Amino acid sequence: MKVRTGLMLAVVFGGLLVMSYALGPRGQSKAPATIPWESNVTAALAKAEAQHKLVMVDFYTTWCRWCQRLDATTLSEPAVAAKIGDGFVPVRLDAENDGRELAQKFGVDSYPTVVFLDKSGQEVYRIAGYLEPQDFLRELENVKAGS
């Protein structure tokens, strides 16, 4: 009985270890490196005006598993990253830290939320929640069509 219990604990512990490795460290949301993220909205708005683009603000929190999934699946998809890099000035903000004020201004209260701003900083479109890559691409097309 002791051997079976010990083996069972080893299997459960090993499974948890593998899952934690696959999901990454808790409390971190890593932005895909292929997207040219900005960290300052004011600078992004100036850049967007000069390039005739919209600003895309990705609001996330460190504890949000859907934010982590968006990073791991959707934003790391090459077609999505390319569309964002070509058509928008992307900004990532932790809604509970550096992006708290802006998240409150735009009424962001669920994560992930992606808000699109025109050159004057006014919201023109919003994607609330997680989307698979193809759905996210479709939404990016809707944003571009509306701008």
What pLDDT digit, counting tens, does each position of 97-110 carry? 999 999 999 999 99
Bridge-based pairing of strands 88-94 and 113-117 is unpaired
Q: How does pLDDT run across 52-93, given as a tens digit for each residue?
A: 999 999 999 999 999 999 999 999 999 999 999 999 999 999
The full DSSP string for 2-44 is HHHHHHHHHHHHHHHHHHHHHH-STT--PPPTTS--BS-HHHH
Q: 67 near 111, Cβ under 8 Å?
A: yes
pTM of the model: 0.77
Query: What is the spatial distance between Cα 37 and Cα 60, in angstroms, rounded to a whole number?
Result: 13
pLDDT digits (tens, 9 = 90+) for 6-33: 444 444 444 433 333 334 433 445 555 5
The 10 Å CB-count burial string (b at 16+, else e) for 41-65 is beebbebbeeeebbbbbbbbbbebe
pLDDT digits (tens, 9 = 90+) for 109-135: 999 999 999 999 999 999 999 999 999
Report the alpha-carbon angle 98-104-55, nearest 5.
70
Domain covering 25-146 in this structure, CATH number: 3.40.30.10
- In this structure, the number of other CB atoms found within 10 A of the CB of residue 75 comes to 25
One DSSP character per residue, 55-84 reads: EEEEEE-TT-HHHHHIIIIITTSHHHHHHH
Spell out the domain ranges in the chain: 25-146
